[in-house]
Amino acid sequence: MTETTFAQRWAGESQRLPYWEAGAGETIVAILDGQRLPTRAHTLLAERRRVIVFAMTADAGSPQGAARQVGAAVAALGIDRFDLIGEGAGAAAAVWLVLAPKADIGSVVLAAPDSVLGGPPDEAFREIKRPVLVLCGTNDKSDAGDLWRALLPGCHFMFVYDAGPAIGAERPEALAFIALEFFERRDLFLVSRESGVVFP
Amino acid sequence: MVMAGALSQLVRRARIAVLGPTLPILNPVRVAEEFAMLDTMSGGRLVAGMMRGTPNEYVTYNINPAESRDRFAEALHLIRRAWTETRPFGWLGRYYQYRTISIWPRPVQQPHPPLYMSGSSPEAGEFAARNHIGIGFAFTTVPLAKSAVQHYRACARDAGWEPAAEDVIYRAMFHVADTDEAAFADMSTLPPRISLVDQNKAIAAGVRQSGYYGADAVAQRQRTSRRELADRIELGQIIVGGPDTVLAQVRCIRDELGAGVLDLVVGAQLGERTLHSIELFGAKVLPRMREL
């Protein structure tokens, strides 16, 4: 099988917002902090879905600014509905994007979210109705997981064993597997559908 | 677990050590919950030992022994999380996957009961030291255990802590009689013990090939080599004799290893003589052990 490769492109009014795209099907938008590139987790996701990875740029100024940039770029690409992943500093931008009035987002995965929110905790965070899954690595020493669990009391929370702040690079199969499961089944992902049959 | 639960209702002051479940072949969430229940039933007196198991167990439960160390490590981390997290959480591991864990009850001891694991191999000693876990030795020899304890203490220093005597457990069989001669005579009547691994060489070969024994495979296999009774006594594998001799053997183990906990297993199933052995140990050895 040919490996899925991401093509780098540019979005935004001045074409200064970098993004990478691969795969086909229903869209997943991922927001990373500016230091990161697509990982093997995104490649695995792109084997099943269309994946667009945005890297936050310094000129966004804040997670809210990054959310506006990404929201505008997604709209410009003609994408009406998508699932969303926010990784590291991109997590706060992802949540701000969920709060945007025009966003039609299915469900949200926050992978190793940073504790930087881009402003004081917004009460609106607690009003988010979309299913949210927060993933934190067991080697991640930050307290961001607790922060996000408090900010999003209705979220699902999972530890990713043997991962630090770069889950997509350290445990790509795990991240891709659980993200796809969550996007497909939302809150029902809690109930296993895996067969226990050894030999039919 | 069942016996510990029964003991928790009979023994009112002593700590109760379960040493312990074979983690890689069990469901770690279940282990966490059962230990937490025991800690609750005993009012916070549980000591939790976590084991990797023996080769025959991997055969019986059809688990690949090559994965035993990694499964053990992940299960132990998961159990600690299950004991200490105050809110439900999921677990996306390499060997274990749970969507929501919320054990009931939580342990009485906070953050969790004292933890021990086998420290026989270098890999185990390093893991225990890195994760601030006590170590135990079962059916090994004092020279092998001494080397392993030194390695464990060195690794612990590297990790920034100093194990206490209570962080080292040494397990040995014992049999006490009124005289040395009577004790040796009792033990010499026992038929040789033949394990499943002894009987089926394919198990031993298959487990060895899997890498189960780790980097120090030769020493690991020496632990279970067959020996004559006199050699087993000399090497501290078994404690046999009259009360004075047994006390001297216990002192030797303590001095050689710095072990603060002795885990004694009945060495011979000899009916009345075994009961007498236990009584003698309680009456004539145990009180003097406190003075060591």
Q: What is the mean pLDDT of the segment spanning B203-212? A: 86
ipTM of the complex: 0.94
Full DSSP string of B58-113: HHHTT--GGGHHHHHHHHHHHHHHHHH-SS-EEEE-SS-EEEEE--SS--SSSS--
Measure in Å the smallest separation between the Cα of A157 and chain B Cα atoms.
5
List of chain B residues whose C-beta atoms are within 8 Å of the C-beta of residue A177: 92
Which residue in the set B77, B87, B94 is minimally distant from A149, CB to CB?
A: B87
User: Does the pLDDT at position A181 exceed 60?
Assistant: yes
Q: Is the peptide bond before B136 cis (omega within 30 degrees of 0)?
A: no
Give the Cα separation of A84 and A75 in Å (integer).
14
CB B97 within 8 A of CB B131: no
Which residue in the set B74, B77, B91 is minimally distant from A158, CB to CB?
A: B91
Q: What is the mean pLDDT of the segment spanning A152-159? A: 95
C-beta neighbour count of B108 within 10 angstroms: 17
Q: What is the mean pLDDT of the segment spanning B198-210? A: 83
Full DSSP string of A85-150: EEETTHHHHHHHHHHSTT--EEEEEEES--S--SSSPPHHHHT--S-EEEEEETT--SSHHHHHHH
A68-104 pLDDT, tens per residue? Answer: 999 999 999 999 999 999 999 999 999 999 998 777 8
CATH of B123-292, one of 3.40.50.300, 3.20.20.30, 3.30.465.10, 1.10.286.10: 3.20.20.30
Which residue in the set A161, A171, A190 is minimally distant from B91, CB to CB?
A: A161
Looking at residue A2, its pLDDT comes to: 45
Q: Which amino acid is at A153?
A: P
B82-136 pLDDT, tens per residue? Answer: 999 999 999 999 999 999 999 999 999 999 999 999 999 999 999 999 999 999 9
Measure in Å the smallest separation between the Cα of A161 and chain B Cα atoms.
5
Equal fold, B1-118 vs B123-292: yes
**pLDDT category of residue A1 using cuts at 50, 70 and 90:** very low
Q: What is the mean pLDDT of the segment spanning A130-134? A: 97
Q: What is the mean pLDDT of the segment spanning B213-237? A: 80
Looking at residue B250, its pLDDT comes to: 95
Q: What is the mean pLDDT of the segment spanning A120-128? A: 78
Mean pLDDT, rounded, of chain A: 91
Length of chain B: 292
Share of chain B above pLDDT 90, in %: 79
| φ/ψ bin of A60: left (φ > 0), alpha (ψ from -120 to 50), beta (otherwise) | alpha
CB B167 within 8 A of CB B260: yes
* CATH no. of B1-118: 3.20.20.30
Give the Cα separation of A93 and A41 in Å (integer).
20
User: Does the pLDDT at position A3 exceed 60?
Assistant: no
Question: How many CB pairs (< 8 A) connect A and B?
Answer: 43
B141-180 pLDDT, tens per residue? Answer: 999 999 999 999 999 999 999 999 999 999 999 999 999 9
**What residue ranges do the domains of chain B occupy?**
1-118, 123-292
User: Does the pLDDT at position B271 exceed 90?
Assistant: yes
3-class SS of residue A29 = strand
Measure in Å the smallest separation between the Cα of A193 and chain B Cα atoms.
12
User: Does the pLDDT at position B196 exceed 70?
Assistant: no
Give the Cα separation of B197 and B87 in Å (integer).
44
Q: Nearest-CA residue of chain A relative to B92?
A: A160
Q: Which CATH superfamily is domain A7-187 in?
A: Alpha/Beta hydrolase fold, catalytic domain (3.40.50.1820)
Q: Do B99 and A174 touch (CB under 8 A)?
A: no
The pTM of the full predicted model, rounded to 2 decimals, is: 0.92
List of chain A residues whose C-beta atoms are within 8 Å of the C-beta of residue B100: 156, 190
Q: Nearest-CA residue of chain A relative to B76?
A: A161
Element (H, E) at A68: helix A63-76
Looking at residue A94, its pLDDT comes to: 95
Q: Nearest-CA residue of chain B relative to A193?
A: B99
**pLDDT category of residue A127 using cuts at 50, 70 and 90:** confident
